[in-house]
Amino acid sequence: MTAKILVSACLLGRPVRYNGSAKTLLHPALMQWQAEGRVVSTCPELAAGFSVPRPPAEISDGDSGEDVLSGTARVVDILGGDVTDMYMAGAQSALALAREHDCRFALLIDGSPSCGSGFIYDGSFAGKKHAGAGVTAALLKANGIGVYSDAEIDALQARLTDAPFA
């Protein structure tokens, strides 16, 4: 059996982002994986009980998902609300889903305080990015799941071509 891939629902065209939009990724590999039944869709934020739309949130003080997991950082929304527990619950839900479907890889939208893997926003709500992972991406990585951003789909495709059962 070929490897299943956990994929951010927004990349699959679902309007689940904080502002009610999608970030649809039109790529032949993703379409092929869907046709093969290899895609497992997730939105950690919806799984945690957030609504659409919802206030945007960022990991505070330029910290990262790893810091949130260790208890040294918080996720806050633009109104000042602490939403850390919900982000942690969403990450746990995504990990449980990945395990349930034996997903060894994840393709996640970059920039998100949940799914970002290459960059996230710095907590200032000023559009400033920095290298780092969101809470879900960090938890998946810590549990041995290969995490790729939407910009890295070609690398994920190459990885799956080299070892489709890994």
pLDDT tens digit sequence for 64-109: 999 999 999 999 999 999 999 999 999 999 999 999 999 999 999 9
Instruction: Share the mean pLDDT of the chain.
Output: 96
Q: Averaged over 136-159, what is the pLDDT? A: 97
Sign, Cα dihedral of 59, 78, 43, 31? negative
Residue 14 is which amino acid? R
DSSP string, 87-138: HHHHHHHHHHHHHHTTEEEEEE-TB-TTT-SSEEE-SSSSS-EEE---HHHH
**36 touches 102 (CB < 8 A):** no
- CA–CA distance, 37 with 61 (Å, rounded to integer): 40
Per-residue pLDDT reduced to its tens digit, 54-72: 999 999 999 999 999 999 9
- CA–CA distance, 154 with 63 (Å, rounded to integer): 28
Which residue is listed with tokens 């070892």?
A: 163
How big is the chain, counted in residues? 166
- pTM for the structure as a whole: 0.96
